[in-house]
C-alpha cells in the first residue's frame, strides 16, 4: 500500500488531514490546529471560483506559512474558471488544490457545483484536467459515494475513472451518499448511512492511486484502523469539536513527537499568533471560538468555555482574557460531565 504520509514532497501529510469545513477551518483555526500537529494536512473552507476571481483575494486566500502543509478547496464547475482560480491559489503558496464534489447545500446546487457534480463525472474530469494543466501542485478531488437514488457502485467508479483519468493526484471520499432532495446539509452529515467498505473496495480497484476516507471518524485510533485499507484518513467535526485529539496524530501516525505536550502548552504556543492578530485589530473571539473544546473532559472545562463565550467576546478581550479562561481548568485529566 502507498504510504504517502512517509513521503517527502507535496502530498506528505495525506496520511491524515483535517477536513475543510465551512465557517470553521479559517486561517485562525488552521493556525491553532498547527500547534497541535505538525504533520496533519490542513484545508481551507471551500472558496468558490467566483469569489477567488472577483473577491478580496487576500482575505479569502491569505494564510501563514506556519500553517503548511495546507490545501485550498475550490467550489466550481467551469474548467476555465477553476484553472484560473487554481493558478491564483498556487501563487499564494498552497500545497494542494482540492475540488469540492461533495457539499450538499442549496447554494452549491444552484451554482452547479459540490455534490450535484456526482451526476456529471465527465465534467469533473474536464475540471481536473484544466487545473492540472494550470498548476504544478497536486490537484485532488473530495466527493461522496453518490447522490439521491444513484447506485453507489457505478457512481463512485465512474467518478474515480473520470478524475484519475484526468490526472487527479488523489481522491478523498466521504463515505456517505448526499441526499440533495429531502435532507438539509446538517442532516446530510449524519443521516445517510456510512459505507466504509465501499471506499475500501474503491482503493482495491485503484491500488496505485492515493485514496483517503472521510466521514464519521471520531478518533486517531479509528483513523489508524482505516489506514489498513486506504492511504489517508480525514477527520472533520471530531477534530474541530475536540481538538486535543490532534495532539495524538504525530506520535500515533507518524512516529514523531507533537509540537505541544498537552493542551496547556498548545495554548502557550498559540499565544504569539493571537497577540499578533490582536495587534492588527482582530477581536479575540475570532481565534478563541476555535478553541472551545480544547479542554473537554477536564474539570473546569465548562467554566473555561463559559468565560470565553462571555468575556472572550467583548471588544476589549485580550490575552489576559484567554489566560484567565485557561486558569479555570484543572491540570488533572479527570472527566467532567458535559
Domain ranges of the chain: 4-254, 263-327
* pLDDT recorded at residue 338: 42
* Among 28, 129, 128, 7, residue whose Cα is nearest residue 70: 28
* pLDDT recorded at residue 9: 40
More confident residue, 108 or 271: 271
State yes or no: 174 annotated in a binding site. yes
**Is 29 a residue of the active site?**
no
Q: What is the mean pLDDT of residues 105-109?
A: 63
pLDDT over 70 at 8, yes or no:
no
pLDDT over 80 at 113, yes or no:
no
More confident residue, 112 or 243: 243
Q: For residue 92, what pLDDT band results from cuts at 50, 70 and 90?
A: very high
* pLDDT recorded at residue 103: 84
HSE-CB at 115 with a 13 A cutoff on CA atoms is: 26
Active-site pick, 103, 116, 127, 143: 103
State yes or no: 167 annotated in a binding site. no
* pLDDT recorded at residue 192: 78
State yes or no: 73 annotated in a binding site. yes
At 49, list the grid cell.
Answer: 471560483
State yes or no: 218 annotated in a binding site. no
d(CA 141, CA 332): 42
Q: For residue 193, what pLDDT band results from cuts at 50, 70 and 90?
A: confident
Alpha-carbon dihedral of residues 4, 5, 8, 11, nearest 10 degrees?
A: 60
Q: Which fold has domain 4-254?
A: TIM Barrel (3.20.20)
State yes or no: 237 annotated in a binding site. yes
Q: What is the mean pLDDT of residues 172-181?
A: 88
Q: For residue 120, what pLDDT band results from cuts at 50, 70 and 90?
A: very high
Q: For residue 3, what pLDDT band results from cuts at 50, 70 and 90?
A: very low
Bond before 69 cis per omega within 30 degrees: yes
Q: For residue 2, what pLDDT band results from cuts at 50, 70 and 90?
A: very low
| pLDDT tens digits along 160-174 | 999 999 999 999 999
Q: For residue 37, what pLDDT band results from cuts at 50, 70 and 90?
A: very high
State yes or no: 216 annotated in a binding site. yes
Question: How many residues comprise the chain?
Answer: 338
Please give the mean pLDDT across all residues of the chain. 91
Q: Tell me the pTM.
A: 0.91
CB within 8 Å of 174: residues ≥ 6 apart: 102, 142, 143, 144, 145, 214, 215
Amino acid at each position: 500500500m502507498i504510504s504517502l504520509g512517509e513521503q517527502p514532497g507535496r502530498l506528505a501529510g495525506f496520511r491524515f488531514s483535517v477536513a475543510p469545513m465551512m465557517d470553521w477551518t479559517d486561517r485562525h483555526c488552521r493556525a491553532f490546529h498547527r500547534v497541535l500537529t505538525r504533520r496533519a494536512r490542513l484545508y481551507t473552507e471551500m472558496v468558490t471560483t467566483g469569489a477567488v476571481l472577483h473577491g478580496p483575494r487576500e482575505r479569502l486566500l491569505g494564510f501563514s506559512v506556519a500553517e503548511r502543509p495546507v490545501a485550498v478547496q475550490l467550489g466550481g464547475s467551469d474548467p476555465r474558471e477553476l484553472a484560473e482560480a487554481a493558478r491564483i491559489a498556487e501563487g499564494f503558496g498552497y500545497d494542494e488544490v482540492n475540488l469540492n464534489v461533495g457539499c450538499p447545500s442549496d447554494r452549491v446546487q444552484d451554482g452547479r457545483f459540490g455534490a450535484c457534480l456526482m451526476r456529471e463525472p465527465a465534467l469533473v474530469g474536464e475540471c481536473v484536467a484544466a487545473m492540472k494543466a494550470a498548476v504544478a501542485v497536486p490537484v485532488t478531488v473530495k466527493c461522496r459515494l453518490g447522490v439521491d437514488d444513484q447506485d453507489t457502485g457505478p457512481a463512485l467508479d465512474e467518478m474515480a475513472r473520470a478524475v484519475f483519468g484526468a490526472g487527479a493526484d488523489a481522491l478523498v471520499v466521504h463515505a456517505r451518499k448526499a441526499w440533495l432532495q429531502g435532507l438539509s446539509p446538517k442532516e446530510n452529515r449524519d443521516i445517510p448511512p456510512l459505507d466504509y467498505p465501499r471506499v475500501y473496495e474503491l482503493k482495491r480497484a485503484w491500488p496505485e492511486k492515493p485514496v483517503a476516507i472521510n466521514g464519521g471518524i471520531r478518533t486517531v485510533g479509528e483513523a489508524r484502523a482505516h489506514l489498513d485499507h486506504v492511504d489517508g484518513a480525514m477527520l472533520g467535526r471530531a477534530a474541530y469539536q475536540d481538538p486535543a485529539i490532534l495532539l495524538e496524530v504525530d506520535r500515533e501516525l507518524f512516529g514523531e513527537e507533537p509540537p505541544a505536550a498537552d493542551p496547556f502548552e498548545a495554548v502557550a504556543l498559540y499565544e504569539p499568533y493571537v497577540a499578533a492578530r490582536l495587534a492588527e485589530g482582530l477581536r479575540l473571539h475570532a481565534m478563541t471560538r476555535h478553541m472551545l473544546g480544547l479542554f473537554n473532559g477536564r474539570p473546569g472545562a465548562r467554566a473555561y468555555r463559559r468565560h470565553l463565550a462571555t468575556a472572550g467576546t467583548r471588544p476589549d478581550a485580550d490575552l489576559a482574557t484567554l489566560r484567565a479562561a485557561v486558569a479555570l481548568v484543572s491540570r488533572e485529566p479527570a472527566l467532567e460531565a458535559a
